[in-house]
Amino acid sequence: MTLPEVLLWKQLRGSRCGLRFRRQHPVGPYVADFCCLADRLIIEVDGEAHGRGDRPDRDHRRDRFLEENGFRVLRIAAADVQRDVEAVVASIVAYAGRPLHHQPLAGGPPPRSGEE
């Protein structure tokens, strides 16, 4: 693990943030930096190399695969982790709190078949 990943892991491990993450978790042909299976959330910590060469295209294909398999992917700059890891954790918790789909309003019509 890189230094930013270690710093972030110290904050995420043991459900300290209210979410349970696994580190270096395999998902298909990929290994996620951090994965919260309960919320289907993957956190990727990106260093500056992710902006060079073919990395942006590779990351896009990877994100598409993960999203097609039901995961949300949150990419975080390694510099942000080093600058303020507590703020990064707060943003992860806020992002995890957003549902994948809007919940139906109480008293509204029932969901159509297949939308439950």
Give the model's pLDDT for residue 3: 94
Which residues does residue 75 pair with via DSSP β-bridges, in sequence order?
A: 44
Instruction: Name the pTM for this structure.
Output: 0.78
Residue 88 structure tokens? 């990064």
CATH 3.20.20.140 fits 3-96, yes or no: no
Give the model's pLDDT for residue 30: 95
Which amino acid would we find at residue 42? I
- Listed in sequence order, the DSSP H helices in 1-116 are 3-12, 55-68, 78-83, 85-96
Q: Tokens 């500056």 label which residue?
A: 48
Give the model's pLDDT for residue 88: 95
* Domain locations in the chain as residue ranges: 3-96
Encode the chain (116 residues) as per-residue pLDDT tens digits. 899 999 999 999 877 788 999 999 999 999 999 999 999 999 999 887 766 677 888 999 999 999 999 999 999 999 999 999 999 999 999 998 876 555 555 555 665 665 55
Q: Residue-wise over 33-48: b if at least 16 C-beta within 10 A, else e?
A: bbbbeebebbbbbbee
